[in-house]
Structure 1
Amino acid sequence: MWSRDLDVLVPTWQGADDLRVREGATALAALTTPGSQRVTVPVPGGGSAPEGGVRHRAAVFNAYHAQTEVLARHRPQRLLTLGGDCTVEVASVAHLAGRYAKRLFVLWIDAHGDLNTPASSPSGTAHGMPLRLLLDGDVDGALPDAHCLSPGQVALAGVRDLDPAEVEYVRRHDLTLLDAPRLGVHPARLAELPPPGAAVYVHLDLDVLDPSAFPAVAVPTPGGLTAATLTRSLTALRAHHQVVGVGITEYVPQLAHDQQVLNEALGTLGLTGARISGRGFVNRGWPGSTTPGDR
């Protein structure tokens, strides 16, 4: 088992503008063995008007501040974050950056780069912006603590769907990128990305998996990893590095899926005491769900 000080459940949906992911945090919590302490962050339940090119901007910022307050109160050195959408990673990574400074290295395991700004985003959804916030901060300074990473502290893995502005950002800042095809051929290369002695944060958006293996995500994206590739890469990573944080996001448990795929990934990360077989939830036409869109 992976030992940590705190689990935070952050049932946000506003960053994805998709009510279905709200249930993902609770479902993930039911599948994982609790750490020393488990807290549900009191995030807003409703949405808010678009503002500054971002859907539900005020609600997203309110959730960030609520999560930041929980982390400041508990001061974890090892942290599990169960979302919700990918915006939950901003507060968690920023907190651990305060603990580990330049030793922190973030593996962004995701189909998407999440490197957009409000101006560059095709959709205006905030879950396509968290890594850019961590690298550059908020354009109007509303989240002063979010800017905590340098390009050398980040690697993107499994990525296969970047918007043009994100491609330019990766090129201009020379970000390390291990795309899905290359990772599929050499899963152990994930362990080669963090430098020796790094304190590693693993961001795992479940859409890094190919939809044929795991379709229960907010933005299913073809060309992804097989379940075997994901488990092999995570096994290699944990064998060679100190993992101080894990964030898992964008799970839509209402959609039919093979739950064993998720159980295998959670088990590889040391988050379950035993692997459970069985099928996932059946799509019930969740009330209020929106159609997944661009990031």
Structure 2
Amino acid sequence: MARFVIVPQWQGSSSSRAMQLVDGATAIAGDLPRSACTLVEVPAEAGESLETNVRRLSTLRRVRELVQDAVAGVDGPAIVIGGDCGVSVGAVAAVAAANPAGDVAVVWLDAHADLNTPETSPSGAFTGMVLRAILGEGVDDMTLPVGAITPDRVVLAGTRDLDAAEEEYIAEAGIRMLGVDSLADPESIVSAVAETGASRVFLHIDLDVLDPAAVAGLAFPVPFGARPVDLVATIKALRARFPLAGAAITEFSPSSADGAVEDLGTILRIVGALV
């Protein structure tokens, strides 16, 4: 049976709808088998920046540790249900610690690259720094060890809203980036992962990789996103080729309970493709 780690974290977001990320994670969890779920108790307080340019850092550090411990305690791959994108740091940290260096590729299915540093971030929100932290750059206790996940093991897919500093880093680091059209051709993403040389894959799925017409509950919708059928097909193609090291589904921010219900069918199809 698949195991789910539920992390209703909102502190990494800069959205005015950040608290609705709690509702989103809770709504998804409500449609999963309770016996298969582990709930991470996210502190209620916003947290302090601790003299850094990362908002709410003190709480984010605590949750990162809790997520890493929860994922490490799961027998087999865990699927983390966020919450904001920051939940993926602890998840990938646990996966990287349990696998030889270079064995895991990270596929970042997201409208945004999340490759800012505290110095380049325009908002100070950790959600825009998550993948860079996974690659070992950022504030203490929020980064993986340098070399645990390297840029040549990362594939960005569906990414279409980049800051200038992120574009520069992608070019310098040589990160593979595929557009939305690639999701209509799953084998192109399978081939990109195969080129990394990794034998296992971690899938980070920010729901804003989808077109806003497909999912309404997005804090940062970006036009011209993927179709759900293409995202599901891509996940299935990756699962057919590579063992799943872990996954995260993040950034479900429904405006109401009724709105959550309307989106859950799509989200549960994504969950189904993972398991």
With normalisation by structure 1, the TM-score equals: 0.82
CA gap 1:86/1:144 in 2 versus in 1, 3 angstroms: closer
Question: Equivalents in 2 of 1:31, 1:43: separation in Å?
Answer: 20
Deviation for aligned residue 1:261: 2.0
CA gap 1:238/1:75 in 2 versus in 1, 3 angstroms: closer
SS in 1 for 2:193: coil
Letter in 1 for 2:199: A
Higher helix proportion, which one? 2
1:25-62 deviation digits (Å, cap 9, x = unpaired)? 22121223467x42111221120244411111111112
Aligned to 1:177: 177
1:244-290 deviation digits (Å, cap 9, x = unpaired)? 211000001335344322232222222xxxxxxxxxxxxxxxxxxxx
Judge conservation of contact 1:81–1:248 (CA < 8 Å) in 2: yes
Question: Equivalents in 1 of 2:145, 2:208: separation in Å?
Answer: 24
Letter in 1 for 2:11: Q
1:201-238 deviation digits (Å, cap 9, x = unpaired)? 11000010010111212211111101121122122212
Aligned to 2:161: 161
Deviation for aligned residue 1:120: 0.7
Select the residue among 245, 252, 260 that pairs with 2:265: 260
Aligned to 1:97: 96
Q: Could you tell me which runs of 5 or more consecutive residues in structure 1 were left unpaired when the two chains were aligned.
A: 271-295
Deviation for aligned residue 1:75: 5.3
Aligned residues: 263
1:191-206 alignment to 2 at 5 Å?
Answer: 191-195=190-194, 198-206=199-207
Aligned to 1:274: none
Question: Equivalents in 1 of 2:99, 2:46: separation in Å?
Answer: 34
Letter in 2 for 1:209: L
Judge conservation of contact 2:216–2:254 (CA < 8 Å) in 1: no
Judge conservation of contact 2:135–2:143 (CA < 8 Å) in 1: no
1:1-295 alignment to 2 at 5 Å?
Answer: 3-4=1-2, 6-17=3-14, 18-33=18-33, 37-50=36-49, 51-72=51-72, 74=73, 76-101=75-100, 102-139=102-139, 141-143=140-142, 145=144, 147=146, 148-180=148-180, 182-195=181-194, 198-255=199-256, 256=259, 257-270=262-275
Question: Equivalents in 1 of 2:143, 2:241: separation in Å?
Answer: 33
Question: Equivalents in 1 of 2:125, 2:242: separation in Å?
Answer: 33
Question: Equivalents in 1 of 2:160, 2:131: separation in Å?
Answer: 16
Q: Structure 1 stretch 11-20 or stretch 23-32: which is displaced more?
A: 23-32
Deviation for aligned residue 1:185: 4.3
Question: Equivalents in 1 of 2:184, 2:143: separation in Å?
Answer: 40
Letter in 2 for 1:259: L
Question: Equivalents in 2 of 1:267, 1:31: separation in Å?
Answer: 12
CA gap 1:133/1:258 in 2 versus in 1, 3 angstroms: closer
Deviation for aligned residue 1:132: 0.1
SS in 2 for 1:119: coil
SS in 2 for 1:24: helix
1:169-197 deviation digits (Å, cap 9, x = unpaired)? 000000000111x3144233222222266
1:42-98 deviation digits (Å, cap 9, x = unpaired)? 2211202444111111111121122233345x2544111111101010011011011
Deviation for aligned residue 1:240: 1.6
Residue identity (%): 34
Q: Structure 1 stretch 185-194 or stretch 10-19: which is displaced more?
A: 185-194
With normalisation by structure 2, the TM-score equals: 0.88
